[in-house]
Structure 1
């Protein structure tokens, strides 16, 4: 039985050694897995911190962009109002130009009519003056003839 016990103990010892070797390998694998897990966790933590920082910066940038958008929207509104006001002023100015042009044309027509009437009146006055001159010359000649006739008698 001693031999059998010795064999049994030797078998158990060998099995124990195999289990210890397997445990050692498992402990080593677990240690490597733990290191790898810690490395991955640290890398993920760094990535998460970077993403959080990027998100924070993006939120800040978004806030700045919203303020710029509001400012630009207000500027666009002001410029639109100004454009509408300038369009109204331009329309008014164009209407004034048209009215002035019409008034100028009417004034020119009136002046042309006055000039034409004045020319006609001047021609009539010349004719009247010519007729009066002829009448005066005729009366002068008659008076001269009468004076000569009186002087001869």
Structure 2
């Protein structure tokens, strides 16, 4: 019976690691170092946002990965983030701003699209979603 609490703790640690795909110290599937002020968001909001994105994909489209970060507006620096992606081989495609949301779409050499979306959800914080989608 003494093993049960240890096993339970290991299962909880493993499930939280699976629920949050962010590599410690990096963003975008490990491509870039985490910018100052970016805090991984791996809660119910993350899960529902990912589920919504997955349900909106068309046939033949595949979500490679999805990450979400809580960021202060001062730390956002969206254009600098886009420049870092282009320095790593991504090509800027278009702005996808609509409503209260800012977005940028980039393409990698394999033809996959990296979408960066910024939503102001809570007072002084914004949420940055990063998704890599194969069309």
TM-score band w.r.t. shorter chain: under 0.3
TM-score under structure 1 length normalisation: 0.17
Greater relative CO (CA pairs within 8 A, separation 6+): 2
Q: Is the strand fraction higher in 1 or 2?
A: 2
Bigger-Rg structure (1/2): 1
TM (normalized to structure 2)?
Answer: 0.19
Greater helix proportion: 1
